[in-house]
């Protein structure tokens, strides 16, 4: 298929969207079949169900015209599928779509209104019809928005606007141990211009989003040593160095009075998102009181002068995740322990190198160590932040497509946490990633009564139909 003109493009897309409308009931039936398979990857009792879910995905992709197969791994199998245009063009784009067919465990079972693997439509006053089942939103419903869009394009026109490979894993909810070796072994086969991932959310019910900024991570475990053995605080307290004091002093010095990280060089070279994006975030009407109130807080901590969204999406942090040292049992034990340990993690933004941050942290510790206190480190590592360029052609094309469907442009949002697949695709396959999903904050993923709004499902499929068209039309 060659797309000749904007007019032709529009006509082809409209027929695809019409086809999606006609197929809605059938699409929902297909999704329900998928949701009925209890593909819980973390529980060995469900291994056969995971294999069945992989086979179901491969069958579905084969049925709509993909060359699909199930590839065994040491864990759960991968689904790999390709659709390639017969006439190859130089300018023809290739994308890799990623999703996962495994789901979280369903317990506590007694908190579900219906059995978690007996999907059903539930009418809701606020959301309208909702698809309720384990995996409805994370990630089976989201995956099927893309596959239904591809089905409609192929059914209507016999072709897709871009070449598409599909990779579906079955271990996303259990640490993805097979993913990195699989990507390494199949790098050539999976190579594409960029990746599409449907495992994220919208800004809100009416506002689509592309997740374009992801903080990186550096982590370190520090052990402060002092006396060669635990001491009695009566017989040694005063003249003997207490590692707990030294550790507290170092950790208290991590931030200045304005909440900035006080490690020299920490902010060197950081790159912030474009000012236009930050300005857009400020207009989102983010409800800081609700965000904090939902976890029992009321006052923003962290760096003064930055809004909460800006802090979460575009500012680095130094966070202590655990401190353990000395006596922790019931009652009193007047001990000066010989050592004390803390675990820290640093959320990073573009421009920060995890290795250099760890080095700066070590230098900072050295500067704050009192006499007779030593520092050793363990379990260190990290990955850099990701900040995609929202003005890059693929982002602009996807943005226009989402605006056409939702009536407003998508927000280029950030995510305070890493998304491992993004890091894997970037580091192993050298690909940028378009993170577009239709989940909502109240979808109850990982919780009882997980749901996906029917509107998320239908408009999600329409969104992908439009995005595929837009990516195909990129010049």
400-439: which residues touch a copy of itself (CB under 8 A)? 415-418
Nearer to a copy of itself, 115 or 326 (CB): 326
Residue recorded with tokens 């509107």? 455
Q: Closest separation between CB of residue 435 and a copy of itself, Å?
A: 15
The least distance separating a copy of itself from the CB of residue 339, rounded to whole angstroms, comes to: 11
Asked whether position 347 contacts a copy of itself by CB under 8 A, the answer is yes
Instruction: Single out the residue of 123, 332, 366, 475 in contact with a copy of itself (rule: CB under 8 A).
Output: 332
Nearest-approach distance from CB 270 to a copy of itself, in angstroms: 14
Sequence-separated (6 or more) residues with CB below 8 Å from residue 470: 397, 398, 400, 401
- Which of 355, 384, 381 shows the shortest CA–CA distance to 271? 384
Q: Please tell me what DSSP assigns to residue 13.
A: H
Question: How many residues in the shown chain lie near a copy of itself by CB under 8 A?
Answer: 81
From residue 178, alpha-carbon distances to 71, 190, 374 in Å are: 11, 15, 39
Residues 356-375 close enough to bind a copy of itself by CB under 8 A: 370-372
Q: Which residue has the tokens 């520090």?
A: 222
Question: If phi over 0 gives left and psi between -120 and 50 gives alpha, with beta otherwise, what is residue 171?
Answer: alpha
> Between residue 286 and residue 315, which ones bind a copy of itself under the rule CB under 8 A?
288, 291-292, 295-303, 306, 308, 311-312, 315
Contact 377, 222 (CB under 8 A): yes
Helix axis angle, 6-22 to 140-157, nearest 10°: 120
Residues 83-122 that bind a copy of itself (CB under 8 A): none
Is the separation of the CB atoms in 165 and 94 below 8 Å?
A: yes
Identified binder of a copy of itself from the candidate list 64, 68, 168, 336, rule CB under 8 A: 336
196 near 95, Cβ under 8 Å? yes
Shortest Å, Cβ 448 to a copy of itself = 17
Cis peptide before 69 (omega within 30 of 0): no
The distance of closest approach from Cβ of residue 253 to a copy of itself in the complex, given in angstroms and rounded to an integer, is 7
Going by C-alpha positions, the residue among 172, 359, 194, 167 that lies closest to residue 263 is 359
Query: CB neighbours (10 Å) of residue 374?
Result: 12
In the complex with a copy of itself, the residue whose CB is nearer, 109 or 289, is 289
Identify which range of 61-69, 156-164, 339-347, 399-407 contacts a copy of itself by CB under 8 A: 339-347
Q: Which residues pair with 441 in a beta bridge?
A: none
In the complex, the smallest distance separating the C-beta of residue 290 from a copy of itself, rounded to whole angstroms, is 13
Say how many C-beta atoms besides its own lie within 10 A of residue 127's C-beta: 18
Among 60-68, 284-292, 358-366, 431-439, the segment contacting a copy of itself (CB under 8 A): 284-292
* Position among 305, 322, 407, 430 found at the interface with a copy of itself (CB under 8 A): 322
Query: In angstroms, rounded to a whole number, what is the distance separating the alpha carbons of residues 381 and 343?
Result: 12
Rounded to 10 deg, the angle between the 47-63 and 24-35 helix axes is 160
- Single residue of 341, 424, 456, 463 touching a copy of itself by CB under 8 A: 341
Choosing from 154, 166, 217, 435, the residue that interacts with a copy of itself (CB under 8 A) is 217
Is residue 187 classed as helix, strand or coil in its secondary structure? Answer: helix
Least distance CB 324 / a copy of itself (angstroms): 4
Q: Which is nearer to a copy of itself, 6 or 239 (CB)?
A: 239
Binding mask 228-267 for a copy of itself (x = CB under 8 A): xx-xxxxxxxxxxxx-xx-xxx-xxxxx------------
The window from 140-148, 276-284, 341-349, 444-452 that contacts a copy of itself (CB under 8 A) reads 341-349
Pick out residues in 168-207 that bind a copy of itself (CB under 8 A): none
Q: State the nearest-atom distance from the C-beta of 106 to a copy of itself, in Å.
A: 21
Residues whose CB falls within 8 Å of the CB of residue 355, separated by 6 or more in sequence, listed in order: 218, 382
């Amino acid at each position: 298929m060659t797309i000749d003109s904007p007019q032709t493009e529009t006509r082809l897309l409209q027929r695809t969207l019409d086809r999606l409308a006609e197929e809605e009931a059938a699409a929902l039936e297909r999704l329900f079949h998928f949701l009925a398979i209890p593909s819980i990857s973390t529980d060995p009792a469900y291994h056969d169900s995971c294999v069945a879910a992989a086979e179901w995905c491969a069958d579905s992709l084969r049925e709509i015209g993909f060359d699909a197969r199930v590839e065994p791994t040491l864990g759960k199998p991968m689904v790999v599928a390709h659709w390639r245009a017969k006439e190859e063009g130089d300018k023809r784009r290739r994308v890799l779509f990623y999703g996962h067919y495994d789901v979280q465990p369903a317990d506590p079972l007694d908190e579900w209104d219906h059995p978690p693997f007996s999907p059903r439509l539930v009418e809701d006053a606020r959301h309208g019809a909702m698809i309720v089942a384990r995996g409805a939103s994370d990630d089976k419903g989201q995956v099927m928005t893309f596959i239904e869009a591809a089905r409609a394009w192929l059914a209507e026109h016999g072709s897709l606007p871009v070449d598409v490979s599909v990779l579906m894993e079955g271990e996303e909810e259990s640490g993805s141990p097979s993913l990195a070796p699989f990507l390494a072994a199949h790098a050539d086969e999976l190579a594409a211009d960029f990746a599409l991932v449907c495992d994220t959310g919208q800004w809100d019910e009416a506002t689509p989003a592309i997740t374009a900024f992801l903080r990186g991570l550096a982590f370190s475990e520090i052990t402060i040593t002092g006396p060669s053995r635990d001491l009695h605080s009566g017989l040694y307290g005063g003249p003997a160095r207490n590692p707990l004091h030294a550790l507290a002093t170092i950790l208290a010095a991590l931030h200045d009075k304005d909440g900035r990280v006080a490690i020299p060089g920490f902010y060197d070279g950081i790159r912030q998102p474009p000012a236009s994006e930050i300005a857009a975030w400020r207009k989102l009407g983010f409800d800081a009181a609700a965000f904090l109130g939902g976890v029992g807080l009321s006052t923003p901590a962290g760096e003064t002068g930055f809004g909460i969204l800006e802090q979460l999406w575009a500012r680095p942090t130094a966070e202590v995740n655990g401190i353990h040292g000395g006596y922790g049992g019931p009652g009193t034990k007047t001990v000066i322990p010989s050592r004390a340990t803390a675990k820290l993690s640093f959320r990073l933004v573009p421009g920060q190198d995890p290795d250099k941050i760890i080095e700066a942290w070590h230098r900072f510790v050295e500067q704050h160590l009192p006499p007779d206190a030593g520092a050793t480190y363990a379990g260190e590592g990290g990955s850099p932040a990701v900040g995609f360029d929202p003005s890059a052609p693929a982002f602009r094309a996807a943005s226009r497509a989402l605006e056409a469907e939702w009536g407003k442009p998508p927000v280029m949002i950030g995510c305070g946490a890493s998304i491992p697949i993004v890091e894997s695709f970037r580091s192993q396959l050298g690909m940028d990633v378009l993170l577009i999903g239709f989940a909502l904050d109240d979808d109850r993923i990982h919780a009882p009564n997980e749901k996906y709004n029917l509107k998320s499902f239908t408009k999600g499929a329409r969104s992908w139909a439009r995005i595929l068209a837009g990516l195909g039309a990129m010049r």
